[in-house]
A and B are shown apart, each in its own frame.
Chain A
Amino acid sequence: MNKKLNYSVPDGYFENLKTRLSQIPAQESRPSRITRLTPYLALAACFAFVVLVGNAVLNRTAVPAASDEEIIEYLIDSDITLAQVVDYLTLNE
């Protein structure tokens, strides 16, 4: 083709080239690894988002558990008798 410059190619190059180029449609229509993983990555991202947001909301809104002292104080201040407490506990056993 190019007699004026005498460029050459490796032996068997054009046969190899045709084989390689004819594989382009298969390579181009095959989804890449990222494309195939996208739905799973999206699902994982949603899950992580829900966990993080849920955790943040719980941390902000949760009321700290009452201490033993506070419970005793409450029972003293209220009119609940010890018998009533025992009855309640036995009822839930």
Chain B
Amino acid sequence: MNELNFQEIVQKYSEPLYWHVRNVVGSHEDADDVLQEVFIKVWKALPGFRGGSSVSTWLWRIATNEAVSFLRKKKVRAALGFLPLDASAERVAGADPWFDGDAAQRRLANAVNALPSKQKAVFCMRYFEELPYEEIASVTGTSVGALKASYHQAAEKVKVSIEEEK
């Protein structure tokens, strides 16, 4: 029964979840690694899923936590010198072979990648995925007011960062 549901989840949500994770982590390789972990967690947690929230909210919560945790670990590894600088969390979009954007989009990607992990996840869900604040609140477990403040703060940082890079 669970396996059947799992296969349905894979078919229906793997692509949108990939884009959600990709927006947060930036590079294709990292998104691929994180998504594999996300689906392993989904498989393990599926028997305990009681439908307290919608399936998509539950999936976005797991994916967001995994992506944010991945970025934090990556930053720590980079700070300790275990990773080369170009592979750090603030990796520039220009170094990603799977980035087809123009100069303006590259500046936007770089500015978003420089945001703190959780703020970045909130910004991506609101700006790129256009999720309503109420849904982002369910995913992150944060109040709508706090999310709005965090989003506006992130948007300001992104604007400043883009202006500086011009």
Contacts and interface: CB of A to CB of B under 8 A. Distances in A.
B82 interface: no
A15 B6 CA distance: 16
A24 B2 CA distance: 12
Interface in B89-138: 93, 96, 98-102, 105, 108-109, 112, 127-128
Interface of B: 2-3, 6-7, 10-11, 14-16, 18-19, 22-23, 28, 32, 35-36, 39-40, 43-44, 93, 96, 98-102, 105, 108-109, 112, 127-128
Interface of A: 1-2, 4-10, 14, 17-18, 20-22, 24-25, 28
Contacts of A1: 15-16, 19
A17 B108 contact: no
Contact of B28 (A4, A6, A7, A28): A7
A28 B16 contact: no
Given A5-B99, A21-B10, A25-B43, 4 more contacts: A1-B16, A7-B98, A14-B18, A17-B35
A28 B108 contact: no
A-B pairs, top 8 by smallest CB distance, nearest first, are A6-B101, A1-B19, A6-B100, A21-B10, A21-B39, A25-B3, A8-B100, A8-B98
23 contacts: A1-B19, A4-B128, A5-B93, A5-B101, A5-B105, A5-B108, A6-B99, A7-B19, A7-B28, A7-B96, A7-B101, A8-B98, A9-B18, A9-B28, A10-B98, A14-B14, A18-B14, A20-B36, A21-B14, A21-B39, A22-B6, A22-B10, A25-B43
B35 to A, nearest CB: 7
A8 B31 CA distance: 12
Contacts of A17: 14-15, 18, 32, 35
B157 to A, nearest CB: 17
Contacts of A8: 98-100
A46 B60 CA distance: 48
Contact of A28 (B18, B32, B43): B43
A22 B99 CA distance: 27
A91 B31 CA distance: 88
